[in-house]
Structure 1
Amino acid sequence: MTTDQGFLADCRARLAFDLLAHTWNAVVLWALRDGPYRPGELRERIGGISQKVLTETLRRLEFNGLVTRRAYGGAPPRVEYELTALGRTLLAPIGSFGAWAFEYGDEVMAAQERHGGERHGGERHGGER
């Protein structure tokens, strides 16, 4: 992508932004950086995510080739999730976003408060969607 192209509908850079734009994708990828983890372990690491949303997010990440799911037999059967090599390539950009948020998050939250604490579209910051 060149700077004069912008983010066209078929632009590959837009694909990356779409992957990270979903509320939980980056959070789950970051939580898996030291994995593999079982779903219950992931929920503990993340906090604030329902089992349903975690399952949907893991399926979406698996569909996109960023996470692998490994099922183990036995009693009881168990499942673990782990980043793929492709998923690991997103850790640096996610870390950069996190560093940006650490540095500028207070300014963003202050702007939200000046506007009544609601996001555009009426959503409050930090909810599950």
Structure 2
Amino acid sequence: MNSPYSQKIVQPDISLTICGYSKVLEIVSNKWTGLVIYAMEDGIIRYGDMRRRIEGISKKMLTQTLRQLERDGLVNRKITPAVPPIVEYSLSGLGESLLVPMKALNQWTKENYSQVELARENYDRINSGE
């Protein structure tokens, strides 16, 4: 069988700097990012409410994740002067558009992750004697 890649590759044709997949993974690969985005899926949410919704996230990680998402243009932050200040977050239009592929990936996970776990178990069983 002759693969189109069987010939000698002179220069890389897959690159971290130009690959669209790697660029989006840079945004969503943090373990908290997807959870934070999902916490805002239904609209405006206050910081404390978001922290209570996301199991295991620290104040520091939530703050860092929100700041990065705001920097990336995915999240809007609104501060209402009060004592203490009221800080609300919501997805921007760009952030809402990211929900579409994230939901598709979530659906793939629901349908297929058990097969991944089974493959891992089989691999570990076969390769445990190495």
> What range describes the TM-score normalised by the shorter chain of this pair?
0.7 to 0.9
Question: TM-score under structure 1 normalisation?
Answer: 0.76
The one of 51, 70, 74 aligned to 2:78: 70
Aligned length: 113
Segment of structure 1 superposing worse, 105-114 or 78-87: 105-114
Question: TM-score under structure 2 normalisation?
Answer: 0.76
Residue 61 of structure 1: aligned partner = 69
RMSD: 2.2
Per-residue CA deviation, residues 20-51 of structure 1 (Å, 9 max, x unaligned), is 21111122112111121111111222222112
Letter in 1 for 2:87: V
Residue 9 of structure 1: aligned partner = 16
| Gapped regions of structure 1 (runs ≥ 5) | 117-129
Larger Cα-atom Rg: 2
- What pairs up with 1:75-94 in 2 under 5 angstroms? 75-94=83-102
SS at match of 1:106: helix
The percent of aligned pairs where both chains have the same amino acid is 37
